[in-house]
Structures are given as C-alpha cells and as structure tokens.
Amino acid sequence: MNLKKGDEVVIISGVDKGKNAKVVAVLTKSNKVILEGEKIRVNKVHSKPTQDNPDGGIVEKAAKIDISNVMVVTGKDKKRTRVGHKTVTDKPTKKGAQGEERKVRFAKKGGAILD
C-alpha cells in the first residue's frame, strides 16, 4: 500500500477534485480510503433507533474514495507526487557493526522520505 493513516493527499478526480485532505483510514481489501478535510464529500446514512442512539435519524459519515483517485502531497509547496519504496541502511551504532536495513516510502518528486 502506498498510503498510510495520517498522510496528506490531494483528490485528483471526482466531485472533490483538487481538494486537500488527511487520510483517516485505509481499507486495503476494497482499495479505498476515508478522508478528513474541509468540505469533503459525506454520505448521509439513515439509522434506526438503538440503545446508543434512541432517536435514530440521519447521520453524516465520511465517504470512501478509491485509492486511485488520490495522490500524496509532500513538501512546503504542497505538490502531488507518486510514492516509491526503497531499502535504506541505517548508520551503525557501534564501530565495525553493520547498520540495519529498513524499507521506507519516498516521494518520486524530490526524493523525500515519507516515513
């Protein structure tokens, strides 16, 4: 998965095209994300009365957006970019020891490490 919870993204297609948002959840099985942001599309769900919500009524829930419709935003200029994966070797802590390798995500534009 190229997206993680907490990433800043821009919507590249659909009704909310061009709006910036933050990833709240990533649904890997359905390849969708739930976003949080200003004036992002919401679905109105009709709920029956329950013990938790005795009145029931219409509840607004954040809409699920397909992963292919969002791109990660990086840097001060807030430009959208693709995400790549690479292995980075950490610096060794002891003399003569080898550093640990870890897999990281990086921005294809600029090469900034995302996590």
Quick one: pLDDT at residue 96?
Answer: 67
Q: Backbone phi, then psi, for 67, in 5-degree steps? A: -60, -30
pLDDT for position 27 = 96
Question: What pLDDT was estimated at residue 38?
Answer: 86
Report how far residue 82's alpha carbon sits from residue 74's, in angstroms, rounded to the nearest whole number.
10
Query: In this predicted model, what pLDDT tens digit does every residue of 9-62 receive, in sequence order?
Result: 999 999 999 999 999 999 999 999 999 988 888 999 999 999 998 999 999 999
Burial class (CB in 10 A: 0-12, 13-18, 19+), 9: buried
82-114 pLDDT, tens digit each: 999 999 888 877 776 777 888 999 999 888 888
pTM: predicted TM-score of the whole model, two decimal places:
0.79
Helix H or strand E segment including 76: none
